Amino acid sequence: MIKLIIFAFFFINYHLVYTQKADTNAFDILNKTIKSTRAIKTMSFTMTKIERIDGEMLKQISLNKMIRKPLSVYLRQEYPVDGMEVLYKEGEKVLINPNGFPWINLRLSPDGNLARVNQHHTILESGYDHVINILDHLMSKYNHDVGSMVFIEKDSTWESHAVWKIKLQNAYYKVNDYVMQENETVMQVARRDMLSEYWLVEQNEILKSCNDESPGATIKRPNDYAPSMELYIDKIRFIPLVMKVYDNIGIYEHYTYSGVTIDPVFKDIEFEKDYEEYGF
């Protein structure tokens, strides 16, 4: 009986240790994160984004509500333009209340140049899907090699949340020449290969915008989104709370998600311009 108890004790402890190790494997954590974020139906959060624009790190803070499918997004900026509002419903134009000049609501194409001034991304890439699509693409592309590309830098906390701090180092990253094809825009190239369209425009003088077509032009195009990424993954919910993207210069993008609520219930009116709490 005593031997049985001792055996059970060591078996349980071995199982717990093994499970802990399995749960803290960076590859498994990212797979669970992809799965958990794909299951999200609605979310609200405060986003702080810092992006390198023309050599400067520009900061924006906004309160966000979103429904993933069909995509509906409302955001209210707190900084740098307090009170600016953006509303989008899938298949429609973006409605913008600039809360300043020109003092009228604007309706713009979500992919258009005006709607993405000083932005790396469009409102179509709100929430987690863009981040997760990049990770999913890399994990599928490099398959078993991903295990050697990602590792847990350290366990940590962020805004009272226990997180895994995961680093992705892409040794395969390189920049190649690419010839633009007929009827092919920068945006199409970027989204097909999960690249940063803003980076393509910034690094190639011949390209003037993300909607540019330059058939026959040879441009510099990376084979992957970035050489290095850093993610803080919530240990309980398996969602990213911080994402940092690095290029050959340094930090390129830095996003934080605060006060994240998963699957809140929204009223339909909350994605209409006439909602009483909005200023459209």
pLDDT in tens, 250-279: 999 999 999 999 999 999 999 999 999 999
> Looking at residue 24, what is its pLDDT?
65
Asked if residues 168 and 230 have their Cβ atoms less than 8 Å apart, the reply is yes
Residue found under tokens 């609501």: 105
The strand pairing partners of 58, in sequence order, are 51
Q: Is the pLDDT of residue 228 over 90?
A: yes
Compute the mean pLDDT over every residue in the chain, rounded to the nearest whole number: 91
Q: Is the pLDDT of residue 1 over 50?
A: no
Q: Would you place residue 154 in the very low, low, confident or very high pLDDT band (cuts 50, 70, 90)?
A: confident
pLDDT tens readout for residues 54-109: 999 999 999 999 999 999 999 999 999 999 999 999 999 999 999 999 999 999 99
Average pLDDT over residues 32-59: 97
Three-state SS letters, the chain: CHHHHHHHHHHHHHHHHHHHHHHCCHHHHHHHHHHHHHCCCEEEEEEEEEEEECCEEEEEEEEEEEECCCCEEEEEEEECCCCCEEEEECCCCEEEECCCCCCCCEEECCCCCHHHCCCCCCHHHCCCHHHHHHHHHHHHHHHHHHHHHEEEEEEEEECCEEEEEEEEECCCCCEEEEECCCCCEHHHHHHHHCCCHHHHHHHCCCCCCCCCECCCCEEEEECCCCCEEEEEEECCCCCEEEEEEECCCCEEEEEEEEEEEECCCCCHHHHCCCCCCCCC
- The length of the chain in residues reads 280
> Looking at residue 146, what is its pLDDT?
86
Q: Report d(CA 234, CA 79) in Å as an integer.
A: 26
> Looking at residue 17, what is its pLDDT?
37
Average pLDDT over residues 225-250: 97
Q: What are phi and psi of 79, to 5 degrees?
A: -150, 135
Residue found under tokens 């899938």: 90
pLDDT tens readout for residues 95-130: 999 999 999 999 999 999 999 899 999 999 999 999
Q: Is the pLDDT of residue 16 over 70?
A: no
Q: Would you place residue 144 in the very low, low, confident or very high pLDDT band (cuts 50, 70, 90)?
A: confident
Nearest to 200 by CA among 219, 183, 181: 219
Nearest to 120 by CA among 255, 253, 256, 258: 253
pLDDT tens readout for residues 182-208: 999 999 999 999 999 999 999 999 999
Please give the share of the chain, as a percent, with pLDDT higher than 90: 86
The structure tokens listed for 6 are 């001792």
What domains are defined for the chain?
Answer: 28-173+224-271 (2.50.20.20)
- Among 1-5, 166-170, 211-215, the minimum mean pLDDT is found in 1-5
Please give the share of the chain, as a percent, with pLDDT higher than 70: 91
Residue 30 burial (10 A CB sphere; 0-12, 13-18, 19+): buried
Q: Would you place residue 147 in the very low, low, confident or very high pLDDT band (cuts 50, 70, 90)?
A: confident
Indicate whether this model's pTM tops 0.75. Answer: yes
